[in-house]
Structures are given as structure tokens and as C-alpha cells.
């Protein structure tokens, strides 16, 4: 289950939605509504027509109305009132006079368009030409000016700058809500109408719960020079479009909610949505949808249960599927995901090979978007839902036997006692929330806590109603905030009432943006700082001569920065050191030299990376065995020879990589991705083994 977000650009950025769903994929006018009755929902060709929603919809006269192509074009294409054509023609009729000059008529038309436009028009940006050509031209300038090929750092800098140069006005945001695949299968395969209706109803109720969270905490706009003040709004305006399948043709019940970037401020003026708040809350809203969906579906279908999927339990976040739906069925109808994941894995490997390190979170997000685009097939011709269901059932039966449909239906027994609610332990879950979040990041926002609280509530609580779920999530989050340490500087003065929003916060403070940490994180950081001033061993003599020997033997010449890095890591007496340099600065070359220098003095370099794949790349680059940081810590803390390692006793030959001896240097590659607690644990082990830790970033 997930909620994703992507920008909708002004102009024709909305068309991918209206082509498929605004007219139910039928190409017909939307009246009469083909999906208003149960029969029409299953027998009309194509997806159901879109519906307007959100607290801002009544402001535009759209409440509970069906979406039309003209309304989407006006609101998302031009930033105008959805009934812009009527407003423009009415304005012209009311103000046109006989004998008007061409200039006056032109001004009248401009005034009419202005009357239909919500706030300022979308900005217009000139196209800059092909991205690859622009990058190539700039790199050629570097070659001609320097007489050499651009470095990796220069290539990345040019690519980043050119990517930012091309701008497009943002008309809105596409929020996509999808239940887990087992729920989509139950909705698509089960022969009982009440079961299928329950899945769809739970999906719609969960969307409403998540959108309520978004409108309560992410519907803001900005005013003042540079948008210095964050103001409240009267709500969001969205168009919801329900889809039934993936582009690969698999069952995939999901809903696109196109949220307009036009919002009315609390002062009655139309402005642009402050998207920063929307992005901050995205993961929390996604997890809210997940918990609400489970809550609603188990209430509608007594006897149905969710359990963690075995293949995801060792990962960062377990995926919970409906119990008793075989994993083979889920895999079979996940072709689109398999294609995407295969392409994503290829892009990640390519990134690691080009950069010599794992992609960070921002890079992973871009690679995932690229994988999605690279594997996106064209949409298939529209069919009725009844025809799709028949094809899916036939495919399932052909692949898994004549009883496969009955196996899916058995996940929802015909008679079962209602689920007994289990009240959550607010204090315990709040403590776990802070503990889990602090293992993933050094600082966090309230929305990081809310997302984790939702995950824990799915595992440790059961709710009879969505209201109980909402209240428990808010209580756990509020208590987790109270258990955290605020990182923000205290206010030096109190703003007057005129400079405060309706919630009492200053208009100069971004809602939900305050950052927190924990006492445990601060203590771990202090131990790392102390380690950077703690002497542990004697220096290595004759480092300069050892570097000279390495250069002579390898034919490699180190620059001044590389020699300084090798010298520091080899001879500095402090327990912890950090080496920081941009991509292309030659850190890997310096570490190869460090390995040779240490070896000449019977000392070891123990390279560690933040993942097994990155460790493989690191080992090949350095020409020595490298390992995963998590694996190294596991061997010291829980491995079969953990007691011997901690006591400094001999271990078998195959486990000697994990041992530490005085003078050894433990190298952590891309240490910024390792996490505070992992580095703290590693430094403690290095101190116990009388080695030293070196972090490279």
C-alpha cells in the first residue's frame, strides 16, 4: 500500500489523466454518469469518470460534481476557474459596447481572462533546448579551455546545473493511492459482490482519511517578499480518478487525486499552494492511508486479517498482505512491479559503477522515476470491468488450477466473528516510535514520527472505527514529539496576533517543519566527538617514504591532498578521523595507497561499506576484501565468535577478517549514509580492539 506524489505541469501536464479517465475512457460526454449505479460500474467500458473533492471544491462550485475535460483544461492547463469559458463570455457580454476599437476589444478580452484566472497566471518559461545537447556543449567548453577531459565532479556539476535551468510552471500534484496487491486481487477475483464492494469502499474511506490529514496540515500558501509568511487556506481542490489495472494489465485498483496548486488563502485571495508542506507530509499520509485501509477493510469484512509478507520482513519496512492469499498469486499479477524493479536494479548498479558508491535517498528517488518512465508501456484499449475480471479469473485458473479462485475467496470466510478491538499502549508505542526513527536519521520532523507511529499501530493495535485510528495516531505522535528534543532555536520575541495563523503559530514558522532529535542521538554524537580527540596508538613511522615506494611501484602520483589524507589515516593517533572530499577528488586512489602503506608496517585496512553491493565495489576498487558495516557489527555483537572477538582471543582463519588488532584502521566508506548509532557502535568496537576508525565521505 502506498501514496505517491508527482508534479503536474501547466499546459498539457494534466492530459494523461483526462485521456484515460475524465470521460470514463469512452470518449463520450460525461452525462449521464455511467458508473452511478452498480451495474454501470461493471458494464461501462473504461474507468469511471472523475469526481471533484476537497474542501476547496465548494469555493469553485464543484462539490460532488463530475470532472469534465473543459474544467481540467481551465484549472490545470491555465490556472483559471473551472468554468472559465462561462466567466469569460459573461464578462465580455456585460462590458462590450458598440463602437469599441480593436485596442479596446483586446483589452476587454484580457480583462475577461483576468476575471477567470485564479490569482496570478502561471509563469511562462522559454524552452532551453535538448538537455543532452546543452550538457555536451558545456563539457566541450571545458575540454577546449583546459586541454583535458572533464572530471567526474565537473560532469556531475554541469548535469545538475542544466537540470535545474529548465523550469516549468506547476499546476498541481498527482497523489496516487494504491492498496496492497492482495487486496487488489481480492477485489478483482472474488465472486461475491459484497466483498468486492468492501475493498473499494475501504479504499475510498482510507483516501478520505489521508486527505483529511493533508488538508489539516499541508494546505498552506505563502505571502510577502520571497514568500516569507506561511498562511492558512480554505482547503484543497482535487479531481479523483479511479483506475482498475496497471499498464501491464494486472489487477491494480488505485486512485489518482489531482490536487490543484491554486488555493484560496484565509484572507480570500487566490494564491499558490506551498508545496514544501505537501512533500514533508507525503510519507506520513501514505502510512495513514495504509492503516486506515486495514482498519476499514477488517471492519467491513470480519474474519479478514493482514500479516507481514515473509519476503519483506527483513527489510526496512514490512509489507502487510491479506492473510491466506498465496504469495505466488501476488507475484504472478505483479508484472509491472517486476519490470520496474529489474530496471531500477540495473540503474542502481550502473550508478554504483559510475560513482563508486551507493546512491543516496535523492538519487534513488530519481532513479526510481527513471525506471518508471523507461518501463512504461502504452495503455490498452478500454474494456468493461466485468470483461477484465473474467480475463483475470481465467488467467489465475490457467496458472494455478481450477481451485485458485476459491483459494482467494477463502481469505474472507462467509461467517466470522467481528475483530476484537485492541487498544494501543500509547506510552510504549511513542517510545518505540522515537527509538525506530532515531535509528534511521539524526533529526526528524513530526511527520517522520507520524509515519512510524502508523506502522507500529498496524502491528500492535486493532480499531473498530477510523475515528479510533485517527485519535490513536495523533496521541502516539504527540507523545513521541514530547519525548523528543527540539533542535529549533527558541523564539526571541512573540509575534502579535496579526502575525499568527489560526492555529496560533507564527506565520514565519513553517508548519510541521520543526526538527527534533533524542537524548540518545545527542549522547552518541558526543561520544563520536570525544573519539575524535582520543589518542589510542603510536604513530606509523616513515609514512612519506612508504607513500614514495607506493608511487614508484604503482606508477601513481598522489597530489598534496591525497598524500595528506593517507598520512593522517596512517599516522594520526586519534581514535576517529574523517576524510571529506567531493566526487572525483581521488579518495579511492588515496585509500589504495593507504592499504599499501599500512601493509608495509604489518597493519590492516578493514574497508566497510553501508551495503553488501557497495562493499563489493569498494573491495574491487581497493584490491582487498571489503564487507558490509552491518555484517561487521553483527559478527561482533551476535556472531558465533562474538565473545572471542570482544575478548581479543584468537578466532578461526575464516573469521579473522572480523578481528581487530592494535594499529588496524577500520575504513567506513560513505560514512554519512551509515547512521549515528552504527558509527557509535563501530567506534566502541575499534576502541575495544585498540584499532582506529576512519570515515570517508
pLDDT in tens, 665-696: 999 998 888 889 999 999 998 887 656 666 65
- Verify that 178 and 294 share a domain, yes or no: yes
pLDDT band, very low/low/confident/very high, at 508 (cuts 50, 70, 90): very high
- Verify that 529 and 442 share a domain, yes or no: no
The cell for 287 is 502510512
- Verify that 142 and 274 share a domain, yes or no: no
Domain that holds residue 94: 84-116
| Whole-number Å distance between alpha carbons of 46 and 31 | 15
- Verify that 193 and 147 share a domain, yes or no: no
Q: What tens digit of pLDDT does each residue of 304-327 get? A: 999 998 877 666 678 999 999 999
Which of helix, strand or coil describes residue 667?
A: strand
The residues, ordered by sequence, that sit 6+ positions from 296 with a Cβ below 8 Å of its Cβ are 201, 202, 205, 206, 466
Higher-pLDDT residue of 690 and 551 is 551
**What Cα–Cα distance (Å) separates residue 154 from each residue in 40, 128, 139, 141, 158?**
58, 21, 8, 12, 6
What average pLDDT does range 417-430 have in this prediction?
88
| Whole-number Å distance between alpha carbons of 557 and 547 | 9
| Whole-number Å distance between alpha carbons of 219 and 441 | 26
Q: Has residue 359 been placed in a domain? A: no
- Verify that 218 and 268 share a domain, yes or no: yes
Residue labelled with grid coordinates 485458473: 397
Q: Has residue 137 been placed in a domain? A: yes
- Verify that 568 and 691 share a domain, yes or no: yes
Beta bridge partners of 628: 609
Q: What tens digit of pLDDT does each residue of 629-646 get? A: 999 999 999 999 999 988
> Would you state the pLDDT for residue 45?
67
Residue labelled with grid coordinates 507511529: 453
Q: Has residue 393 been placed in a domain? A: yes
The cell for 589 is 586512489
> Would you state the pLDDT for residue 234?
96
- Verify that 506 and 389 share a domain, yes or no: no
- pLDDT of 249 over the 70 cut: yes
**Sheet with 576-579, edge to edge strand ranges:** 576-579, 692-696, 665-669, 605-609, 627-628
| Whole-number Å distance between alpha carbons of 280 and 273 | 13
Buried b (16+ CB within 10 A) or exposed e, 186-207: bbbbbeeeebbebbbebbbbbb
- pLDDT of 90 over the 70 cut: yes
Q: Has residue 124 been placed in a domain? A: no
Q: Could you tell me if 256 and 176 are in contact, meaning their C-beta atoms sit under 8 angstroms apart?
A: yes
Strand bridging mode 306-308 / 320-322: antiparallel
> Would you state the pLDDT for residue 647?
86
Q: Has residue 358 been placed in a domain? A: no
Q: How many domains does the chain have?
A: 5
Q: Has residue 392 been placed in a domain? A: yes
Report the C-alpha dihedral over residues 329, 292, 287, 233, rounded to 10 degrees.
140
pTM to 2 decimal places: 0.85
- Verify that 243 and 293 share a domain, yes or no: yes
> Would you state the pLDDT for residue 165?
79
What average pLDDT does range 37-60 have in this prediction?
80
**What Cα–Cα distance (Å) separates residue 362 from each residue in 50, 349, 449, 606, 668?**
32, 16, 20, 28, 21
State yes or no: cis peptide before 32, omega within 30 of 0: yes
> Would you state the pLDDT for residue 692?
61
Q: Has residue 664 been placed in a domain? A: yes
- Verify that 182 and 156 share a domain, yes or no: no
> Would you state the pLDDT for residue 359?
72
| Whole-number Å distance between alpha carbons of 119 and 271 | 5
- Verify that 484 and 510 share a domain, yes or no: yes
The residues, ordered by sequence, that sit 6+ positions from 411 with a Cβ below 8 Å of its Cβ are 182, 186, 304, 322, 323, 324, 325
Higher-pLDDT residue of 51 and 359 is 51
Look over the chain and give the mean of its residue pLDDT values, rounded to a whole number.
Answer: 87
- Verify that 431 and 327 share a domain, yes or no: no
The cell for 257 is 487525486
Q: Has residue 353 been placed in a domain? A: no
Q: Over pLDDT 90: what percentage of the chain?
A: 56
What sign does the dihedral 451-455-456-460 (CA atoms) show? positive
The cell for 437 is 526513527
> Would you state the pLDDT for residue 628?
93
- Verify that 633 and 597 share a domain, yes or no: yes
Q: Over pLDDT 70: what percentage of the chain?
A: 88
| Whole-number Å distance between alpha carbons of 85 and 74 | 8
What average pLDDT does range 146-164 have in this prediction?
82
pLDDT band, very low/low/confident/very high, at 457 (cuts 50, 70, 90): very high
- pLDDT of 37 over the 60 cut: no
CATH of residue 671: 3.40.50.300
Helix pair angle (426-440, 519-531), 10° resolution? 30
List, as one string, the DSSP characters of 262-291. Answer: EEEBTTS-EEEB-HHHHHHHHHHHHHHHHH
> Would you state the pLDDT for residue 28?
41
Q: Could you tell me if 85 and 264 are in contact, meaning their C-beta atoms sit under 8 angstroms apart?
A: no
Amino acid at each position: 500500500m502506498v501514496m505517491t506524489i508527482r508534479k503536474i505541469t501547466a499546459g498539457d501536464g494534466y492530459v494523461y489523466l483526462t485521456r484515460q479517465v475524465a470521460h470514463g475512457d469512452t470518449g463520450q460526454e460525461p452525462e449521464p454518469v455511467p458508473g452511478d449505479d452498480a451495474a454501470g460500474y461493471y458494464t461501462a467500458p473504461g474507468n469511471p469518470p472523475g469526481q471533484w473533492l476537497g474542501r476547496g471544491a465548494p469555493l469553485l462550485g464543484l462539490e460532488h460534481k463530475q470532472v469534465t475535460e473543459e474544467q481540467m483544461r481551465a484549472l490545470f492547463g491555465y490556472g483559471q476557474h473551472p468554468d472559465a469559458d462561462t466567466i469569460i463570455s459573461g464578462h465580455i457580454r456585460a462590458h462590450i459596447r458598440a463602437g469599441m476599437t480593436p485596442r479596446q476589444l483586446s483589452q476587454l478580452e484580457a480583462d475577461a481572462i483576468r476575471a477567470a484566472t485564479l490569482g496570478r497566471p502561471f509563469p511562462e518559461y522559454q524552452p532551453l533546448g535538448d538537455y543532452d545537447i546543452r550538457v555536451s556543449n558545456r563539457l566541450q567548453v571545458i575540454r577546449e579551455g583546459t586541454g583535458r577531459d572533464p572530471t567526474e565532479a565537473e560532469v556531475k556539476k554541469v548535469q545538475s546545473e542544466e537540470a535545474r535551468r529548465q523550469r516549468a510552471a506547476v499546476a498541481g500534484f498527482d497523489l496516487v493511492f494504491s492498496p496492497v496487491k492482495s487486496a487488489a486481487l481480492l477485489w478483482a477475483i472474488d465472486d461475491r459482490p459484497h466483498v468486492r464492494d468492501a475493498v473499494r469502499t475501504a479504499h475510498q474511506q482510507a483516501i478520505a482519511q489521508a486527505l483529511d490529514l493533508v488538508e489539516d496540515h499541508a494546505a498552506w500558501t505563502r505571502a510577502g517578499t520571497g514568500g516569507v509568511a506561511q498562511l492558512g487556506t480554505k482547503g484543497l481542490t482535487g479531481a479523483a480518478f479511479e483506475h482498475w489495472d496497471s499498464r501491464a494489465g494486472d489487477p491494480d485498483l488505485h486512485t489518482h487525486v489531482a490536487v490543484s496548486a491554486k488555493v484560496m488563502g484565509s484572507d480570500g485571495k487566490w494564491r499558490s499552494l506551498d508545496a514544501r508542506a505537501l512533500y514533508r507530509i507525503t510519507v506520513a499520509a501514505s502510512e495513514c492511508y495504509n492503516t486506515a485501509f486495514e482498519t476499514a477493510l477488517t471492519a467491513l469484512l470480519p474474519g479478514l486479517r493482514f500479516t507481514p509478507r515473509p519476503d519483506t520482513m527483513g527489510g526496512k519496512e514490512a509489507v502487510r498482505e491479506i492473510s491466506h492469499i498465496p504469495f505466488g498469486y501476488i507475484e504472478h499479477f505483479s508484472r509491472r512491479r517486476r519490470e520496474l524493479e529489474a530496471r531500477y536494479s540495473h540503474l542502481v548498479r550502473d550508478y554504483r559503477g559510475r560513482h563508486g558508491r551507493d546512491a543516496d535517498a535523492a538519487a534513488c528517488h530519481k532513479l526510481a522515476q527513471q525506471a518508471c518512465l523507461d518501463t512504461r508501456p502504452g495503455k490498452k484499449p478500454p474494456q468493461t470491468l466485468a470483461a477484465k475480471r473474467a480475463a483475470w479469473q481465467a488467467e489465475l485458473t490457467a496458472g494455478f488450477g481450477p481451485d485458485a479462485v476459491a483459494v482467494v475467496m477463502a481469505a474472507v470466510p462467509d461467517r466470522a466473528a467481528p475483530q476484537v478491538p485492541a487498544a494501543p499502549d500509547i506510552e510504549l508505542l511513542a517510545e518505540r516510535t522515537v527509538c525506530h526513527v532515531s535509528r534511521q536519521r539524526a533529526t526528524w520532523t513530526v511527520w517522520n514520527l507520524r509515519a512510524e507511529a502508523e506502522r507500529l499501530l498496524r502491528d500492535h493495535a486493532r480499531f473498530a472505527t477510523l475515528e479510533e485510528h485517527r485519535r490513536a495516531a495523533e496521541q502516539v505522535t504527540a507523545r513521541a514529539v514530547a519525548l523528543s528534543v527540539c533542535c529549533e532555536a527558541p523564539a526571541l520575541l512573540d509575534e502579535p496576533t496579526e502575525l499568527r495563523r489560526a492555529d496560533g503559530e507564527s506565520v514565519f514558522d513553517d508548519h510541521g517543519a520543526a526538527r527534533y532529535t533524542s537524548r540518545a542521538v545527542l549522547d552518541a554524537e558526543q561520544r563520536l566527538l570525544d573519539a575524535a580527540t582520543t589518542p589510542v596508538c603510536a604513530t606509523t613511522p616513515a609514512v612519506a617514504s612508504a607513500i614514495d615506494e607506493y608511487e614508484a611501484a604503482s606508477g601513481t602520483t598522489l597530489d598534496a591532498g591525497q598524500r595528506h589524507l593517507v598520512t593522517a589515516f596512517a599516522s594520526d593517533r586519534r581514535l576517529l578521523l574523517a576524510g571529506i572530499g567531493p566526487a572525483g577528488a581521488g579518495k579511492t586512489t588515496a585509500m589504495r595507497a593507504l592499504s599499501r602503506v599500512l601493509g608495509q608496517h604489518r597493519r590492516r585496512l578493514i574497508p566497510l561499506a553501508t551495503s553488501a553491493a557497495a562493499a563489493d565495489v569498494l573491495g574491487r576498487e581497493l584490491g582487498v576484501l571489503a564487507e558490509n558495516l552491518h555484517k561487521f557489527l553483527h559478527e561482533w555483537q551476535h556472531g558465533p565468535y562474538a565473545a572471542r572477538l570482544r575478548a581479543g582471543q584468537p578466532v578461526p582463519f575464516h573469521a579473522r577478517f572480523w578481528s581487530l588488532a592494535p594499529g588496524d584502521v577500520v575504513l567506513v566508506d560513505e560514512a554519512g549514509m551509515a547512521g549515528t548509532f552504527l558509527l557509535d557502535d563501530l567506534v566502541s568496537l575499534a576502541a575495544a580492539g585498540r584499532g582506529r576508525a576512519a570515515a570517508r565521505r
